[in-house]
Amino acid sequence: MVMQSGLGRRGPAEAGRMEVLNAAATVFMERGFTATSVDDIAEVLGSTKGRIYHYYRSKADIFLDVLTLAMLDLLERIRPIAEQRDLPPDARLHAAARMHATVMMTQSARSRVAVQGTEMHLMQEAGAKQRRALQAFVDMRDEYEQYFADIVADGTRAGLFRDVAPRLAAKPILGALNWINMWYRPRPGSDIENIAEEFATFVVNGLRPTG
């Protein structure tokens, strides 16, 4: 029997399963959850949906796995940055923002889906298992946001940032960065490094005291 969710809690992810996941991520990114049919995913795979339903119980389960993988990736990346307590808060925020912007531009498929993830009110009719996975995703998202809020609070304490509510301050930061998914499309000449640097500077300066 094949695991239907949990992304390898039982061991390393199988190749077949990951292929389905990546194909799905691509299409979800382009069309969103509802507008993506299982046949669309199969077409990207160059197969029929029989293959997909061998690995996954439902379209929602695939979507949840894409979300989960993307958030796990982001969390893994931000932890080492948040833990560099020797770096001043503004430098830490700069590094975190740079990382997030870069992921948005490079890990396109999965992260983009995760950012659109809000679209999931569609899954209200979901079963208990799916609701749990959805809640786990929301929890991870909150945890990720909290890393940013904590850095902001540190910066305010250090007198580097204005005195703002940290949780609220994280919103325009992540908004400016997540929005990249809405307009950025990879192309030969596009300089990811420059954009990431400019956006990181933007959000750090956004918190600095006025004049």
Partner DNA sequence: GTCTATAATTTGATAGAC
Partner DNA sequence: GTCTATCAAATTATAGAC
Site string for DNA, 42-71 (x = CB under 7 A): x----xxxxx-xx--xxxx-----------
Q: Does 180 help bind a second copy (rule: CB under 8 A)?
A: yes
Q: Which does 175 bind (CB under 5 to 8 A by kind): DNA, a second copy, none?
A: a second copy
Q: Does 190 bind a second copy (CB under 8 A)?
A: no
The Cα–Cα gap between 178 and 86 comes to 27
Q: Answer with the entry of a second copy, DNA, none that 94 interacts with (C-beta below 5 to 8 A by kind).
A: none
The residue among 102, 190, 82 whose CA lies nearest residue 146 is 82
Site size for DNA (CB under 7 A): 19
- Scan residues 151-210 and list those touching DNA (CB under 7 A): none
What letter does residue 121 receive in the DSSP assignment? G
The least distance separating a second copy from the CB of residue 176, rounded to whole angstroms, comes to: 4
Residue 111 interacts with DNA (CB under 7 A): yes or no: no
CA distances to 6, 105, 134, 140, 174 from 197, in Å = 35, 13, 33, 26, 15
Helix 89-106 and helix 59-82, axial crossing angle in degrees, nearest 10? 150
Under rule CB under 7 A, residue 13 binds DNA: no
CA 51 distance to own-chain centroid: 27
Q: Return the residue of 6, 16, 32, 127 that touches a second copy, per CB under 8 A.
A: 32
Residues in Cβ contact with 55 at an 8 Å cutoff, skipping those fewer than 6 apart: 2, 14, 16, 17, 20
Q: How many helices (H) and strands (E) does the chain have?
A: 10, 0
- Whether 170 and 148 have beta carbons less than 8 Å apart is answered as yes
**Cβ–Cβ < 8 Å for 54, 47:** no
Minimum CB separation from a second copy for residue 6, in Å? 26
Cβ of residue 177: shortest distance to a second copy, in angstroms?
Answer: 7
By CB under 8 A, what part of segment 58-117 binds a second copy? none
* DSSP-derived secondary structure letter, 208: S
> Where along the sequence are the contacts to DNA (CB under 7 A)?
2, 14, 16, 36-39, 42, 47-51, 53-54, 57-60
> Where along the sequence are the contacts to a second copy (CB under 8 A)?
30-35, 118-119, 121-122, 162, 164, 168-169, 171-180, 182-183, 195, 198-199, 201-203, 205-208, 210-211
